Structure 1
């Protein structure tokens, strides 16, 4: 079964929000062996919606649309879909009772405009929205399936999980796909590609290797498509083994995991703990770690020591060190890391101090100058980085390098 996703909303095209719905739906559908052929983002305009529905119906068997189901005048998805299917909207009393109930539970009067959310496509099946006022709608039309969902992420996810995916399990897709992942750190994309070029060249036609780079890491995706899932699984496993053996120590995971997830898992398994002392990253290192479920088992806490007085008072950085070397220095970074490690009682500690920009640089320490220190079981590792003028990028690069340094020291000290 081939599928397409259409996201509707001017806010996406204007960059006011990021379309996270499509990525989540693509992963959910892949678990049912349903492959996404195309994702299209369009504005809240009738002509654009009609065109997108028409084009998608020529390519895909399943078309999922998100957005434009709200009560306001700019939400035109249902009205446009009625034109596309040459049908009408009808008032669904069960949906109307549900909407009334939501307002009653909030002890608020229901505006007349919300009555329209109970209007659904006459040729569709209502998908009740337990978390909001806009129901989803399932339409079977000319041997195609169209699903219309609200754009609010938590409402969409609830409807997909409890209403849409169970219905899609009834559909059997003849085309199968098998996928494996390799997560590498500390090696650039071009160097990695050169290292495994001969293996990639030996791939049979039904296998594909994708490079998914981010700052500090590259994720490899090995995929195969065909009709015999068992054979596909054997093929991708064989070639993934070849790649992983060739890449060696740069491989940190053979699952679809983030680097932060790998760190959290490894620390938990080793009963190691982590703390952070952040200046120029402003808590971003701690944020990346604590976004991982289970981080509470290894992350004790962090101190955002932006001002020198905080470095002294909470991390016990010596005043003489700051006077002699400055806040952005190896000496200060070391004392920050040791201070966090001691104050919070952790096995490891990360410290970052630098000039993120755009101001604050000097001839000796220009914008982008960063020191990172990692305090471990037996030693402290430090490194100086000279990044660029972009503040956001400097913070991201510092975070990435800090986590890589942490990982390298953690691997070195295993068994201590």
Structure 2
């Protein structure tokens, strides 16, 4: 059975619809390609209590969770604080993270606001994820049954960190065996008509069946597990 993965996005701009959460879709595609079973996407606004409850729930039900957003320097960036409360872990000042943030501003001949010091406060015992593309370092830790990776919400930074920092860790932490996805595109038939025709076919329980209706076609998707016998 493939390990399960959840994607958790933090930000009031996401839950209010001001920003489309493209991070979750991109991460899902990467996770499925790696061999994870993605079970949930969750978005939470800038409310500390909601973040705490969600983190505690995920720690009990998922094998892995990729979290994006909430690592900035402002008062509505609450991810590290929520982790501290949820898992009863104190925050501590990370000197190396602070040096990296300071250097980011110095290289651009800009004064660093005092508020950016907050970004160097990381949960005790967490592994820092260095970020050369912005001021927000990520971090990872294990709590309960789940390994968490916390990444900045800026898509460019998130993608770089996922490729360079997270992917190598996933391959060593989890037994990942990607399945095979087959997509059949159909023109001139609706979803219901395709479903009726498929009803006469016995699809094995371990094969996931799904549909995606577009403007011009319907895509029927069959996801086969890695160990499904070839015929």
Fold in common (TM above 0.5): yes
Q: Is 1:125 paired with 2:122?
A: no
Structure 1 CA distance for aligned equivalents of residues 74 and 45 of structure 2:
15
Are 2:130 and 2:137, in contact at CA under 8 Å, matched by a contact in 1?
A: yes
Are 1:187 and 1:216, in contact at CA under 8 Å, matched by a contact in 2?
A: no
Larger helix percent: 1
Are 1:44 and 1:77, in contact at CA under 8 Å, matched by a contact in 2?
A: no
Which residue does 1:401 correspond to in 2? none
Shift of 1:184: 3.0
Shift of 1:214: 1.4
Q: In terms of mean alpha carbon deviation, does 202-211 or 68-77 score higher?
A: 202-211
Which residue does 1:76 correspond to in 2? 78
Shift of 1:207: 1.8
Task: Choose between structure 1 and 2 for higher RCO, CA contacts under 8 A separated by at least 6 residues.
Answer: 2
Q: Is 1:158 paired with 2:155?
A: no
Structure 1 CA distance for aligned equivalents of residues 51 and 88 of structure 2:
14
| Structure 1: stretches of 5+ with no match in the other structure | 239-416
Are 2:207 and 2:224, in contact at CA under 8 Å, matched by a contact in 1?
A: yes
Shift of 1:186: 4.2
Deviations 1:111-139 (A, max 9, x none): 11111111111120000112110011010
Structure 2 CA distance for aligned equivalents of residues 143 and 211 of structure 1:
32
Deviations 1:330-379 (A, max 9, x none): xxxxxxxxxxxxxxxxxxxxxxxxxxxxxxxxxxxxxxxxxxxxxxxxxx
Are 1:211 and 1:218, in contact at CA under 8 Å, matched by a contact in 2?
A: yes
User: For residues 80 and 188 of structure 1, do their structure 2 counterparts lie closer, same or farther at Cα, with a shift above 3 Å needed?
Assistant: same
User: SS of the counterpart of 2:76?
Assistant: coil
Are 1:3 and 1:60, in contact at CA under 8 Å, matched by a contact in 2?
A: yes
Which residue does 1:222 correspond to in 2? 222
Q: Is 1:211 paired with 2:211?
A: yes
Which residue does 2:43 correspond to in 1? 41
Aligned length: 229
Which residue does 1:314 correspond to in 2? none
| Structure 2: stretches of 5+ with no match in the other structure | none
User: SS of the counterpart of 1:139?
Assistant: strand
Shift of 1:65: 1.4
Q: For residues 263-278 of structure 1, what are the structure 2 equivalents within 5 Å?
A: none
Which residue does 2:25 correspond to in 1? 23
Structure 2 CA distance for aligned equivalents of residues 230 and 208 of structure 1:
14
Q: In terms of mean alpha carbon deviation, does 79-88 or 165-174 score higher?
A: 165-174
User: SS of the counterpart of 1:73?
Assistant: coil
TM-score of the two chains, using structure 2 as the length reference: 0.91
Structure 2 CA distance for aligned equivalents of residues 161 and 209 of structure 1:
29
Shift of 1:64: 1.8
Larger Rg: 1
Which of 10, 13, 30 is matched with 1:8 structurally? Answer: 10
TM-score of the two chains, using structure 1 as the length reference: 0.52
